[in-house]
Amino acid sequence: MKKPNLLTTQPLKTIRNFIKNFDLNFFTRHAKTFDSADVADVLESLDEPNRLQAFHKLDPEKAVDV
């Protein structure tokens, strides 16, 4: 049985997930250029699963400061 194409069956959900993941990945890649307090503020604003995901993607040196 052929798997359904997510872009045609759930386009809005797929787009939202892509944007959320892109934003988190962009943030974690560039977090080392931000002040640790600013990074902590952003992490606090996220819901629990996204907070954990973003924290674990941080550079280890930045994660220690946060």
Q: Please state, as a whole number, how many other Cβ atoms lie within 10 Å of the Cβ of residue 54.
A: 19
Backbone dihedral angles phi then psi of residue 32, each to the nearest 5 degrees = -65, -15
Stated pTM of the model: 0.61
**Nearby residues of 12 by Cβ (< 8 Å), 6 or more positions away:** none
Task: Encode pLDDT of 33-53 as tens digits.
Answer: 888 888 888 888 888 888 888
Task: Encode pLDDT of 3-36 as tens digits.
Answer: 655 555 676 677 677 767 778 888 888 888 888 8
Backbone dihedral angles phi then psi of residue 6, each to the nearest 5 degrees = -65, -30
* Side chain identity, residue 49: P
CB 32 within 8 A of CB 59: yes
